[in-house]
Amino acid sequence: MIGQQRSFGRRVLLAAIRQNSPIARIDLSEQTGISRATVTTVTAELIRAGLVEEVAAQGTEMARGRPRVDLKIRGAAHLVAGIKIANSSLSLVLMDFEGNQLAEHSHVLSKTTLGTEALVEELAGALGDMLTPLGKSVSDLSGVGVGIAGIVDVQQGLVHWSPSLSDRNINLRSAIDTALGVPAFVDNDANLVAMAEKSFGLGREATDFIVVTIESGVGMGIVINNEIYRGTRGCGAEFGHTKVHLDGALCRCGQRGCLEAYVADYALLREASVTHAGAGALTGETDEQRIEALLQRAHDGDPVAGNIVLRAGRMFAMGLANIVNIFDPQLIVLAGERMQSNHLYAEEVIAGIKDSIVQVDQSPPEVVIHRWGDLMWAKGAAAYALEGVEEMAVEALRAGEI
């Protein structure tokens, strides 16, 4: 149940090399507490296996003594893909073992909700579309990471329910495994952004942090002790349905007082619709455009619009402060792709958090904003695949498959 601690050294050293990218053996020894002798032995093995490579001298050339030789992950060792299954599309990235993005692709789904077989088929098709221009094929991949909205049992690769799947309780992992002939790693998409931040983003330096995303809903990913925390039922952290008001505004989920019911787009438009600044009066065809108009009005000094936006920001700050009071993380990353969520990231909101958390001598956690594009989700999925492939590679080493 506890699992083997075998290959502990290989695992730790490979992870340390990945984290600190170009790093000399002596620093690895320092960092990990593993003796220099063992570092030499193990890294030699990793190099022989093709997972790691030496790189030419680093920047500082002036040192006395024997120059250190930096090590890094060997990108060419493996190829992985990351796929995010969104509402009506797939976004894909191709990544090498070092985490370099080699290609990206997007694919429009034929339907919003698909059967398992049809979904896997579209997935395989999209993968092929990304790979063939590069002269690669699916069989060149060592792993595929897949992120999907819904309730996912990561351990088993089971999707209990998802808006993208018409079937329930599907083992998506094994379905993809067998269809593609490539190991698949499936996770709830709420965790993808946390994974992406941990692997490639602002969370690289932190061991305990929280990522909050605002898209159509409000999502959260939790990293504790350098690992994604998934809760026990695997339905992810439902920050958006955290209650911020007893018997408050009605939420899409049917309950009252959810944070989402105050800060999501639909919540802002609902408020706007009942005032003289009514939603009808807001120019714009789409909701996005109307939100844009509302924010513009607030910015221009319209008191009603300003009031709407202000309350949303204050509610958001309150929700975040609660997270801080409970978790006390090193870092909170506010991540999102859409500029219109800008108002929630305003300086006043961040200041509001600091006013609502328990005051101690130490400084409050850092709150940073990370604005990124659509691809971050797919990158997070790829990071999952990388983690899995790394694990498999170490296991293969242990089993003596050179």
Partner DNA sequence: TGATTTAATTTGATTTTCAAATTAAAACTG
Partner DNA sequence: CAGTTTTAATTTGAAAATCAAATTAAATCA
d(CA 131, CA 138): 7
User: Nearer to its own copies by C-beta: 224 or 339?
Assistant: 224
Q: Give DSSP secondary structure letters for 186-225.
A: EEETHHHHHHHHHHHSGGGS-SSEEEEEESSSEEEEEEET
Binder of DNA out of 16, 17, 43, 200 (CB under 7 A):
43
- The overall longest dimension of the chain from CA atoms, in Å, is 76
Q: Say whether 1 sits in a helix, a strand or coil.
A: coil
> For binding to its own copies (CB under 8 A), which residues are involved?
1-5, 8, 12, 16, 31-34, 151, 160-161, 208, 220, 222, 224-225, 229-239, 241-246, 253, 255, 257, 311, 314-315, 318, 321-323, 325-330, 355-362, 365
User: Nearer to DNA by C-beta: 301 or 400?
Assistant: 400
Regarding 67 and contact with DNA (CB under 7 A), the answer is: yes
- Which phi and psi angles does 216 have, rounded to 5°? -65, -30
User: Nearer to its own copies by C-beta: 225 or 286?
Assistant: 225
Regarding 19 and contact with DNA (CB under 7 A), the answer is: no
159 - beta bridge partners? 152, 170
Q: Do the Cβ atoms of 49 and 393 come closer than 8 Å?
A: yes
Q: Find the shortest distance in angstroms from Cβ 392 to DNA.
A: 15
What residue has token string 């006013």? 355
Q: Give DSSP secondary structure letters for 289-342.
A: HHHHHHHHHHHHT-HHHHHHHHHHHHHHHHHHHHHHHHH--SEEEEEES-GGGG
Regarding 299 and contact with DNA (CB under 7 A), the answer is: no
User: Nearer to DNA by C-beta: 1 or 108?
Assistant: 1
Binder of DNA out of 1, 59, 60, 64 (CB under 7 A):
64
User: Nearer to its own copies by C-beta: 130 or 223?
Assistant: 223
Query: Which of its own copies, DNA, none sits in contact with 362, Cβ below 5 to 8 A by type?
Result: its own copies
DSSP 275: S
Regarding 59 and contact with DNA (CB under 7 A), the answer is: no
Positions touching DNA (CB under 7 A) are 4-10, 24-26, 33-44, 61-69, 398, 400
